[in-house]
Structure 1
Amino acid sequence: MSVIDLSAYGADFTANPYPYYAALRASGPVHEILTPEGVPAWLIVGHEEARAALVDPRLVKDVTAVTGFVPLEFEVIGRNLLGVDPPDHTRLRKLVAGEFTVRRVEALRPRVQELTDELLDAMAAGKAGEPGNSGQSGEPGRTAGAGRADLVDAFAFPLPITVICELLGVPTADRDTFRAWSNEAVAPTGALSEREVFDGFGGYLDALIEDKRAAGPQDDLLSALIATRAEDGDRLALSELRALAFLLLVAGHETTVNLIATTVRLLLGHPEQLAALRADFGLLDQVIEESLRYDGPVETATYRFAAEDVDLAGTAVPAGSVVLVGLAAAGHDPARFADPERFDTRRDPRGHLAFGHGIHYCLGAPLARLEAKVAIRSLLERFPRLALDPATEPYTWLPGILIRGTRELPVVW
């Protein structure tokens, strides 16, 4: 089996990886690759094989335990839920899971709706996407005037970053700084070094945690996590708080930005499906699930490492190898989803792996779904003539194979 260099496919792969994944799948579910960043890995492109890998205890998350290597993120920020295995993972997840129940997330709906309405007011007035800016004051932002906007800048980014900042108790004035750090963390462009990103995040979060400890109990998630104790008295150490806050800030908005923007892009590109949704918003849950299956915001799950020599669907993977589970590729496996290249909001997309599977299933899935539902319905109701801007250049796709989406989405109404 030859090693497949994904970087050789160039910009075409970044814009639309699905034909390439289909070609790989035709010759087997597991392939030895070089990622676009040049990392040797084993990529899983079949649905059932991906689902099995996500719960395989031989594929671990803690690279240090397997190779002895300590990544810069671990050194500066600490190990978060995506970088540890049981029993550490079990302990950490137990301490934080209570803050992300469906009931607690649902209680956020009125605030999410309020922020959404404020952002749509600002969009309608041709102002920058910022909650509270209804166009009555402030300078115009990167939106292009009334009737035209970059939906990412004006809406899809500011909504989830404001929600997660408010939830954690982080000043929303710092959101542009977080955006720069976060973008470089998940889809590096070279604008900032890895050291600058993690040093910036780490120093900021340490100061924020110390301020909250000094201020005493407050009504925000980070304060609650600082005060959280398990029944046996266990609580989160500073490094664990820092790492968890980092994960929540990055994962809590990056994926939702792209879920909102991608779903809108797909609907606007499929007029019949958009018309069906406008006629019956009862279809919205199904629309969002189909968007997650068809072009979800996480292309491949974060790294796993073979703790021993592993047979994956008949392919021998040596101990210490990086294993990438192709969540996006799995959503296009015809063995699981009929006619998978068709965006069909009437299909039953249950069983997709967009939020993962097993013990690392995304904690924030209920919040992402809630934000997407409120955002998309409100947007379509507010702008009945919303359309993709025909006068724009081709999209700028996020680099790499972790986060899937575009840096902008120009629209008109």
Structure 2
Amino acid sequence: MDLTAHADEFNADPYPFYEALRAVGPVHRLVLGGERAWLVVGHQEARAALSHPALSKNWLGSELFEVAQVNAVATNMLDSDPPHHTRLRRLVAREFTSRRVESLRPRVQQITDGLLDAMDAVPERRGDLIRAFAVPLPMTLICELLGVPNLDRARFRYWSGEIVAPLDGVGAHPRVLEEMTSYLSGLVAAKAGEPGDDLLSALIRTRDEDGDQLSPDELIGMAFLLLVAGHETTVNLIGNGVRALLDHPEQLAALRADPDGLIDGAVEEMLRYDGPVQHATYRFADADLELGGVPIATGSSVLVALAAADRDPARFTGPGPGPEAFDIRRTGPGHLAFGHGIHYCLGAPLARMEGRIAIRSLLERFPGLAGDPDAGPLDWLPGTLMRGVTRLPLRW
């Protein structure tokens, strides 16, 4: 399949494409932006691919990328394999703890309440939820967590948007990565000279039992990963979650009636039904392997469609709603929205907490929340990495 040839239709609703592919088989040859890769759409095969020892995340030796693109932002744990990945994750996990995440809860609520106050003050009682709420909440939090000055946050939003959903739908311009790398290099140097209470300063200070610590390039790569992954995913968790609730008024009414009992399950269903990350980042075959009965040769590129896997009927064979239904009371098998295996998202607890606070507070503040019928069609994010809309016009 050539997804580039169906870009607009696919961006608006990829699920019929995935359904058609799954009906034929769990693994397919894909053309995307002129590049060829294997696309995994079955749930069982996706879990296998996400943890397969022959599928590497280190793209420096792959044919998909030019070596000229390599810079310090690539030295992060998402783009590395064991034992290097094991070392990086261990050092970061020493500081990015569940205790640190839980300590952020009051601040998440405070930021949320401030943004809702601003929305409440809008005379016309309508606007774009992405700009007014879904972007500034996680952006403010992750920048505060890493100690990024207020004036620099607009630049980060632009850079990260170009990286995860470039306007051409193919790839970020090298200039964007160069600008972000240069900025982060200066930020790391400033924190090293004058440390604070933020996470980046803590990562600079942290040492393993044997004295090991993150290098300057590794700190830049980790700051890049935390800034981009730490807010873009939550933006689209909020946006996609609100869209799903408004499209299913009976589910919205149930959540309003019992927020204490249903908010956790609602956020998990939002992640499964229309999660923020559509495809996991590229993996590369270090050796010949087989997925779903399909032989994949050494050197091949593999994309795991998390969105397709989480709607695979083979995953939902028992009683209860099928995978195409949005049901916040759903029980049973979990989802792959945060990945699987050694690269399972380190920030999952923070994203869940932000999503629960954001969705619940929004619904409690605005009982009349609804779509804006005068706003026209939605504009979808380009590319296949992130799933979401560029704006979400609502009335409140």
Normalised-by-shorter TM-score class? over 0.9
Q: Secondary structure at the match of 2:327?
A: coil
Partner residue in 2 for 1:28? 25
Matches within 5 A, 1:46-195: 46-65=42-61, 71-72=67-68, 74-126=70-122, 145-190=123-168, 194-195=173-174
Structure 2 counterpart of 1:118, one-letter code: G
Q: Does residue 15 in structure 1 map to residue 8 in structure 2? A: no
1:392 pairs with one of 364, 375, 378: 375
Deviations 1:196-231 (A, max 9, x none): 11111011111111111111x310000000101000
Q: Does residue 257 in structure 1 map to residue 235 in structure 2? A: yes
Structure 2 counterpart of 1:264, one-letter code: V
In the TM superposition, residue 82 of structure 1 has moved relative to its aligned partner by 1.2
**Using the alignment, how far apart are the partners of 2:62 and 2:163 within structure 1?**
23
Q: Does residue 402 in structure 1 map to residue 385 in structure 2? A: yes
Deviations 1:208-257 (A, max 9, x none): 11111111x31000000010100000001010000110010000000000
Structure 2 counterpart of 1:95, one-letter code: L
**Using the alignment, how far apart are the partners of 2:141 and 2:353 within structure 1?**
11
Residues 123, 146 of structure 1: 8 Å contact kept: no
In the TM superposition, residue 75 of structure 1 has moved relative to its aligned partner by 2.4
2:315 pairs with one of 311, 317, 336: 336
Residues 300, 402 of structure 1: 8 Å contact kept: yes
How much identity, in percent, do the aligned residues show?
61
Partner residue in 2 for 1:234? 212
Q: Secondary structure at the match of 1:21?
A: helix
In the TM superposition, residue 319 of structure 1 has moved relative to its aligned partner by 0.8
Deviations 1:132-187 (A, max 9, x none): xxxxxxxxxxxxx5400100000000000000000000012211111111111011
Structure 1 counterpart of 2:197, one-letter code: D
Residues 350/166 of structure 1: CA separation in 2 closer, same or farther (3 Å cut): farther
2:2 pairs with one of 5, 8, 21: 5
Query: Structure 2 unaligned runs (5+)?
Result: none
In the TM superposition, residue 102 of structure 1 has moved relative to its aligned partner by 2.6
Q: Secondary structure at the match of 2:213?
A: coil
Residues 95, 206 of structure 2: 8 Å contact kept: no
Q: Secondary structure at the match of 2:161?
A: helix
In the TM superposition, residue 100 of structure 1 has moved relative to its aligned partner by 2.9
1:347 pairs with one of 326, 330, 349: 330
Stretch of structure 1 that moved more, 94-103 or 20-29: 94-103
**Using the alignment, how far apart are the partners of 2:395 and 2:374 within structure 1?**
10
In the TM superposition, residue 74 of structure 1 has moved relative to its aligned partner by 3.0
Stretch of structure 1 that moved more, 275-284 or 329-338: 329-338
Structure 1 counterpart of 2:265, one-letter code: Q
Partner residue in 2 for 1:294? 273
Deviations 1:101-144 (A, max 9, x none): 33321110000000000000111112xxxxxxxxxxxxxxxxxx
2:246 pairs with one of 249, 268, 272: 268
Residues 76, 199 of structure 1: 8 Å contact kept: no
**Using the alignment, how far apart are the partners of 1:348 and 1:83 within structure 2?**
33
Residues 66, 307 of structure 1: 8 Å contact kept: no
Q: Secondary structure at the match of 1:396?
A: coil
Q: Secondary structure at the match of 2:38?
A: strand
TM-score by length of 2: 0.95
**Using the alignment, how far apart are the partners of 1:67 and 1:197 within structure 2?**
22
In the TM superposition, residue 397 of structure 1 has moved relative to its aligned partner by 0.6
Residues 286, 349 of structure 1: 8 Å contact kept: no
Residues 45, 292 of structure 2: 8 Å contact kept: yes
Residues 394/298 of structure 1: CA separation in 2 closer, same or farther (3 Å cut): same
**Using the alignment, how far apart are the partners of 1:342 and 1:256 within structure 2?**
22
Q: Secondary structure at the match of 2:95?
A: helix
Q: Does residue 361 in structure 1 map to residue 358 in structure 2? A: no
**Using the alignment, how far apart are the partners of 1:98 and 1:393 within structure 2?**
47
In the TM superposition, residue 71 of structure 1 has moved relative to its aligned partner by 4.6
Q: Secondary structure at the match of 2:29?
A: strand
Q: Secondary structure at the match of 1:335?
A: helix
Residues 309, 319 of structure 1: 8 Å contact kept: yes
Q: Secondary structure at the match of 2:158?
A: helix
TM-score by length of 1: 0.91
Q: Secondary structure at the match of 1:100?
A: coil
Q: Secondary structure at the match of 2:232?
A: helix
Q: Secondary structure at the match of 1:181?
A: helix
